[in-house]
Amino acid sequence: MQSNSDVLFNISGCVATITLNRVSRHNALTIHMLEQIEHAIASVERNDEVRVLKLETSSQRFFCSGADINEWGDLEAAKMGSRFIREGNRVFRRLAELDKPTIAVLSASALGGGFELALACDLRYASVDAKVGFPESSVGAIPGWMGCARLVELVGATRTRELILLGDSITASRAAQWGIVNEALQPDELQQRIDAVCDTLQKRSRTSLSVGKRLVRMMETGQPEYAHEFAASVCKASPDAIEGVAAFREKREAKFN
């Protein structure tokens, strides 16, 4: 993608990075940006060399400030649901269902739709300077991109109600305490931690990561027993499992292909 694009995309080794780059508007999401994000996700899906996808920001103030109110503010009620919300949900669902691990790098604040974008990722690491929250109630709206559902899955209904009803943001440290982000780190430690996580994920079995993500999704549907049976069978049938068992018995490091 072009360097002057609102969404940047690049691949370095086995790691792909989507960078929100609409700094002048605090990375407020537009339909065009959603299309660019989906295009990048599709590229990651097709590229067998990519092992990890990161979502970052080029802004020092915001990871993403939410959905651009200039895009949805004047929409008719019907079009708000059928166009803007449906478009975002499709893109965020594709991100959430990507078989490869995804990481939201919250070096700055994620609010509204930006928070929902982060919640669609597998892992979230934040700077202690960042905040997260759902301010929609202050403008007569609600989180429309499955943020309510994903947050309930993470922290339960009580915490979710607090964020949605009050509309206040919370610090990254508090978000870490609640289990919304995996860690809240000092700004100068954040990138080092992200690099370490990416390095670890690249060493893991592709099959285990892919099936593990599917397993979690199946558990969310309320069928954990069947999901575990499926996951165990798929892993056991893979070359990775054969190599892993052999390496364990031979007391050596496994070499996954």
Q: Which amino acid is at 58?
A: S
Q: Which of 224, 207, 203 is nearest to 215 (CA)?
A: 224
The catalytic position among 35, 87, 136, 229 is: 136
Quick one: three-class SS letters along the chain? CCCCCCEEEEEECCEEEEEECCHHHCCCECHHHHHHHHHHHHHHHHCCCCCEEEEEECCCCEEECCECHHHHCCCCHHHHHHHHHHHHHHHHHHHHCCCCCEEEEECCEEECHHHHHHHCCCEEEEECCCEEECCHHHHCCCCCCCHHHHHHHHHHHHHHHHHHHHCCCEEHHHHHHHCCCCEEECHHHHHHHHHHHHHHHHHCCHHHHHHHHHHHHHHHCCCHHHHHHHHHHHHHCCHHHHHHHHHHHCCCCCCCC
- Whether 71 sits among the annotated catalytic residues: the reply is no
Phi and psi, residue 86, nearest 5°: -65, -40
Given a contact cutoff of 8 angstroms between Cβ atoms, the answer to whether 118 and 97 are in contact is: no
- Whether 97 sits among the annotated catalytic residues: the reply is no
The catalytic position among 76, 116, 220, 250 is: 116
Q: Which of 108, 95, 105 is nearest to 26 (CA)?
A: 108
Q: Hey, which residues are catalytic here?
A: 116, 136
